[in-house]
């Protein structure tokens, strides 16, 4: 069964269809019907442009995330705390929530 109604000229797709179309989770035929509707409907074309801009911004930001560098001493401190938490769990103790202030970073 098609996710998109047969006559999209009279019926706009719901938000789930917009999301599935952007996530490539609909078939080619359904995507063509969706795009045909978007091109013929001003309201949906506006939504489409906003979603396209949003997806482009997300992609741009994802590509510009800087990697964090952790020093050797920070790695040792994190390992020490992780081992401590594992021991607490193995002993059946309720582990204390790790706070950034405990890291001495």
Determine, yes or no, domain membership for 5: no
Range of the domain at 88: 72-103
Q: Residue-wise pLDDT tens for the chain (105 aa)?
A: 444 444 444 589 988 888 888 888 899 999 999 999 999 999 999 888 888 888 888 888 777 777 777 788 888 888 888 777 777 766 765 545 545 555 554
Determine, yes or no, domain membership for 3: no
Token pair 């999301």: residue: 19
Residue 77 shares a structural domain with residue 57: no
- How crowded is the C-beta side of 92, counted as CA atoms within 13 Å? 0
Domain count, the chain: 2
Contacts of 61 (CB under 8 A, 6+ apart): none
3-state secondary structure the chain: CCCCCCCCCCCCCCHHHHHHHHCCCCCHHHHHHHHHHHHHCHHHHHHHHHHHHHHHHHHHHHHCCCCCCCCHHHHHHHHHHHHHHHHHHHCCCCCCCCCHHHHCC
Task: Provide the pLDDT for residue 29.
Answer: 92
């Amino acid at each position: 069964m098609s996710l998109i109604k047969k006559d999209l000229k009279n019926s706009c797709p719901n938000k789930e269809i917009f999301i599935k179309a952007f996530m490539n989770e609909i078939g080619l035929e359904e995507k063509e019907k969706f795009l045909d509707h978007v091109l013929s409907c001003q309201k949906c074309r506006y939504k489409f442009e906003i979603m396209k801009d949003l997806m482009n911004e997300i992609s741009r930001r994802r590509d510009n995330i800087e990697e964090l560098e952790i020093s050797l001493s920070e790695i040792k401190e994190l390992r020490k705390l992780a081992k401590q938490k594992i021991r607490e769990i193995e002993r059946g103790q309720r582990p204390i929530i790790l706070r950034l202030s405990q890291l001495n970073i």
